[in-house]
Amino acid sequence: MKRINRRELMIGTSATLGLAFAMGLSGCSTPIEAADLDAVLDSLATNLLRDSPEFATSLAVSEARAGGPYLDRWSDVSREGFLQTRSILEQGLAALAPFAEKGLTGQDAVSLEVVRTSLQNDVDSMRFAYGSGAGGPYIVNQIEGGYTWVPDFLDSQHPVTSKAQADAYLARLSGYARLMDQESAVVALDAAAGVVAPLFCLDGAIRQLTAFASIAPAETVLVQSLARRAVEAQDIPEAERAAYAERAEAIVRNEIIPAYQRQIAALQAVRGQATEDAGIWKLPDGEAMYAAALKNQTTTSLSPDEVHAMGVELVAELQAEMEAILRAEGLTRGTVAERIQSVSRRPDQLYPNTDEGRAQLLADLNAQVGAITARMPEICGTLAQAALEIRRVPPYVEAGAPGGYYQAAAPDGSRPGAYFINLRNTAEWPKYTLPTLTYHEATPGHHWQISIQQEAQGLPFIRTAMLGFNAYAEGWALYAEQLADELGMYANDRLGRLGYLQSAAFRASRLVVDTGLHVKRWTREEAIQSMLAATGDQRSSIETEIDRYCVWPGQACGYMVGRQEILRLRAEAQAALGDLFDLKGFHDTVLVNGSTPLSVTESLVRAWMAQPG
């Protein structure tokens, strides 16, 4: 998965859209041309970044692009900030509405449709004013909330190469306590409206918050990161470096740890209202909320029943393929899941759960990336240029974090892309499962796709750097797993291909369990058992996954829905073009236009098919 925090999930802003609204809402009679659209989109991008300082930091943009200084600020995550964001999104749609009547063509038409769809989907989700909207109704849970991303963000994305940046770090450190208090206030507001996370999700958050709050302030990553990097800042005199660490330690002790304790108390205060019910069907307007989340996450009009049926059918097909491999391995007794579990426990498939074992696992992942990157010119005409690093998920959040995720590179090249893998227990990563994870998160998956999007020429900044659609991005990453198989990466690795099929079955199972949880009123245990039977994966990994689906309704459906659409479009192009079909051309068409709603992806592919020659 591509991991992003709540603010990156929304295109919204609490700042005025300046030129965009002046042009779109003033009622002026001047004809609106494509050049006007460029100006509106450029102004919109700047105002979005002004409202999300951490997103601006992640992109490493200039202050001019972000509409002013941003390194010392956080977004407003209060309920007031949420409502203001929603209002601005609605105004943004109004600003873009006149362009729909102007008959735009080419990339201008694509840009209009991409941005309008993103805005509209977010508005529809945010009509449910809980958490961050339909797709994230609980502002703090075991996988979401400032405590899950702020420490790592400050360590890995906030730069400290100068005194000014170190001072901004301290300002953000102090502001972190306010951000957490805003979240805690929203927890109480939502609970008053009957919106409380499942009990097991609340308890997961409380455990992680308590664990971090028990660390000595000087030993936290919040202090250690600044102390380490202040030494490297050239304009901080040696005599002043220790003072930065001391100030950071004082902020953590006197401001942040108390905010953690207040947030623990806020969660404990609503715990009595929590139940074991896993799905959002239990919430006010839960059915409508899930429909909005599913539409946003898949960019389709598929109903929950249609998504569920798709998953059931695909699981059956993939299990038949896994059955053939297991029999070829001499494994004939037990269910598919039981036999896969026996493979996952074999000593030859396990890394030692030690620092040395983790180091070897990371080295093997790097080798896998190198091997497939060398093959990419065979299937893509446009090649990604951004560097990639493979890192361990920080131990202080690994308990609730996903198994693997990707963090995009800074578009200016100042920070490489990062593929994170959760190494809390190496037994969760049998060797045969790792190549497919690598192809998904790195190349040809997220790193490849997002880097090409960032490096695309001739597209507005808002499209190359800021917008993303779950079904497209995760659909491509899942499609990338199949590309690796088609390239022959498993030709001499039968168990590796079993891992690929298991991964596909896992994503197909997500369609079943996500709709099961949120529409069919499955319990957490029913969802766990369904996914265990479908995949044979480790129970501990599946528990983490199921808990994630409980708090991110619809998100897990984007993967397989997106993959199936890309495969459908490829098959359609192959049938129509015959010998003229060019796989490189197809991939370039899908990739160089950046992340798009699936309907736009379809239009782009059909336009490519219609081109002569």
| Residue 146: pLDDT band with limits 50, 70, 90 | very high
pLDDT at 554: 98
Question: What pLDDT band is residue 613 in, cutting at 50, 70 and 90?
Answer: low
pLDDT digits (tens, 9 = 90+) for 399-443: 777 788 899 998 888 899 999 999 999 999 999 999 999 999 999
Q: Which 3 state secondary structure label does DSSP give 491?
A: coil
Question: What gap in Å lies between CA 413 and CA 399, rounded to an integer?
Answer: 31
Task: State both tokens at 227.
Answer: 């102390």
Q: Six-digit token pair at 11?
A: 């295109």
Q: For residue range 242-295, list pLDDT tens digits in order.
A: 999 999 999 999 999 999 999 999 999 999 999 999 999 999 999 999 999 999
Over residues 307-313, the mean pLDDT reads 98
Alpha-carbon span 535 to 337, nearest angstrom: 6
Q: Which of 383, 380, 446 is nearest to 583 (CA)?
A: 380
Whole-number Å distance between alpha carbons of 456 and 466? 13
pLDDT over threshold 90, residue 94: no
* pTM > 0.75: yes or no: yes
pLDDT at 538: 87
Q: How far apart are CA 490 and CA 557, in angstroms?
A: 26
Pairing of strands 388-392, 417-421: parallel
| DSSP labels, 459-477 | S-HIIIII---HHHHHHHH
Residue 81, class by beta-carbon neighbours within 10 Å (0-12 exposed, 13-18 middle, 19+ buried)? middle
CA distance 409 to 58: 8
The closest alpha carbon to 119, from 87, 76, 144, belongs to 87
DSSP state of 31: P
3-class state of residue 392 by DSSP: strand
Domain positions in the chain? 1-133, 314-557
pLDDT at 84: 86
Mean pLDDT throughout 550-575?
98
CB 293 within 8 A of CB 135: yes
**Average pLDDT for 153-171:** 96
pLDDT-based confidence at residue 473 (cuts at 50, 70, 90): very high
Lateral strand order in the sheet of 417-421: 388-392, 417-421, 404-407
Contact status, residue 420 vs residue 391, Cβ threshold 8 Å: yes
583, pLDDT greater than 70: yes
pLDDT at 17 over 50: no
**Residue 320: is it exposed, middle or buried by C-beta count within 10 angstroms (0-12/13-18/19+)?**
exposed
The whole-number pLDDT of residue 6 equals: 38
33 pLDDT above the threshold of 70: no
pLDDT at 15 > cutoff 70: no
Q: For residue 511, what are the CA distances in angstroms to 282, 317, 319?
A: 20, 14, 15
Q: What percent of the chain shows pLDDT beyond 70?
A: 94
* 432: its two tokens: 């045969």
Give the integer Cα–Cα distance in Å for 316 and 425: 30
| Joined tokens for residue 178 | 């306010």
What average pLDDT is seen over the chain? Answer: 92
Token output for 3: 């991991």
